[in-house]
Amino acid sequence: MRYSLNEETAPRFAQYGVNVWGLDANADVMENAKLAIEKTAEFFKSIGLPSTLRETGITSDEHFEEMADHIKAHWFADLKYAIKPLDRNDIIQILKNSL
């Protein structure tokens, strides 16, 4: 979500924040978008889901290109319809950001 946040995607994240987290619909769109993302991260943490790859035992980017190829091969059709369409380089960067 953080990777996809920009001026174009902020309204959708802000709307999500209003609808899911009860954020103030009249607040700044970008601030609501950021807060919605943080609340989502807090929720996942509260139920015990890992939030970084390091928390799952992955400590280097050694296999990120292979992982990106796997994701592209099996999920790419879905990724082109993501809130921000993602390509192989985006996937690698998200994996690196997740370490």
Domain range summary for the chain, segments of one domain joined by +: 1-49, 50-99
Torsion of CA 62, 55, 92, 9, to 10 degrees: -170
Predicted local confidence at residue 32, as pLDDT: 98
pLDDT per residue over 66-96, tens digit each?
A: 999 998 888 766 777 788 888 889 999 999 9
Confidence of residue 17 (pLDDT cuts 50, 70, 90): very high
Contacts of 9 (CB under 8 A, 6+ apart): 33, 83, 84
**Angular region, 22: left φ>0, alpha ψ -120 to 50, beta rest:** left
